[in-house]
């Protein structure tokens, strides 16, 4: 595994973890309380005394989308193109695009 591929894989894993954190925060700060928001966009939890703001859901959901997209892009870049993968397996001659053994 090359250093570039290793770093892209590591970045993909880190971005995936951050996306999971964003998804959890979206659920905890918005989705559980979505039916309890008032007309001004606030929900109150009497047990903990927390006030939840409806706009926070868009922020946490946005982080989920950003980090999830970055994880997908890094993962795709780490895998490389299909042609590069086929050359590494000996299925295609480098530079020719033709199968090995086919003349």
DSSP the chain: --HHHHHHHHHHHHHHHHHHHHHHHHHHHTGGGTTT--TTSEEE-TTT--EEETHHHHHHHHHHHHHHHHHHHHHHHHH--HHHHHHHTTSB-TTT-SBTT--
Residue 13's pLDDT band, with cuts at 50, 70 and 90, is very high
pTM: 0.67
Identify the residue with better confidence: 1 or 64: 64
74 Cβ contact list (under 8 Å, min separation 6): 8, 9, 11, 12, 15
pLDDT tens-place string over residues 39-50 = 778 888 788 888
Per-residue pLDDT for 100 more than 90? no
Tokens of 15: 């971005």
């Amino acid at each position: 595994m090359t250093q570039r591929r290793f770093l892209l894989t590591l970045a993909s894993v880190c971005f995936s973890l951050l996306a999971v954190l964003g998804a959890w925060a979206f659920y905890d700060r918005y989705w559980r309380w979505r039916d309890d928001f008032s007309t001004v966009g606030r929900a109150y939890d009497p047990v903990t005394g927390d006030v939840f703001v409806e706009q926070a859901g868009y922020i946490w959901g946005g982080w989920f989308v950003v980090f999830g997209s970055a994880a997908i892009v890094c993962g795709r870049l780490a895998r490389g193109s299909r042609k590069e993968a086929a050359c590494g397996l000996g299925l295609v001659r480098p530079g020719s695009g033709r199968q090995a053994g086919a003349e």
